[in-house]
Chain A
Amino acid sequence: EAGVAQSPRYKIIEKRQSVAFWCNPISGHATLYWYQQILGQGPKLLIQFQNNGVVDDSQLPKDRFSAERLKGVDSTLKIQPAKLEDSAVYLCASSGAGARHEQYFGPGTRLTVT
């Protein structure tokens, strides 16, 4: 079974530029999560989708971050314009049905804003 796929793996941009990240969850997983992990900290949820609907985006800086999950499969996370403090690893995770609801993570995208 293929895992969660993310691209790109690394991205360097200048502040005020825009950037987009892509995530393909494990096949059949209805729930998709985007987390932000700043160096030395644990990941923090940005947004959660159930199929193509948003469940929780309370921690998403909506003035600059946006995300979509068209057709309930792939998802994209966009930052426009980027700030220095957006430098972090962006992790995508997915979970399927069943009582365990174990979350499986992708390799992440490391963003550096200069």
Chain B
Amino acid sequence: KQEVTQIPAALSVPEGENLVLNCSFTDSAIYNLQWFRQDPGKGLTSLLLIQSSQREQTSGRLNASLDKSSGRSTLYIAASQPGDSATYLCAVAYNQGGKLIFGQGTELSVKP
């Protein structure tokens, strides 16, 4: 069964810290992996997409890595800010244009 797991479920850090969110998937034959941000009561905002042939993607203070062989991805957030507080979701697709299989998310709180 294809499953995605995110650890931890919740994380609270002081402003300015660097932090890592973890995502693991059971079937390593992925097509791509996306990281999303979800603010309370809102939809999903795509942060980064990593193709199966790539090892990492960067956007501003965000860096996502992919290790297919171990079935893991990490989202690194540098110099965290209170505005980064949100739920972060990891999702994988197993074929081109196929459905996304989501983890349950990590709820991040950055304290001023």
Contact = CB atoms under 8 A, between A and B. Distances in A.
A105 B97 contact: no
Interface string B82-112: 0000000101010011111011110000000
A101 B99 contact: no
B42 A41 contact: no
A43 B90 CA distance: 11
Interface residues of A, number: 29
A22 interface: no
Q: Give the interface size bracket for B toward A.
A: 20 to 34
Contacts of B44: 43, 91, 93, 105
Interface in B1-58: 4, 31-32, 34, 36, 41-46, 49, 51
Nearest to A109: B43
12 contacts: A33-B100, A40-B104, A42-B103, A43-B89, A91-B44, A100-B51, A101-B96, A103-B46, A105-B46, A107-B42, A107-B43, A108-B42
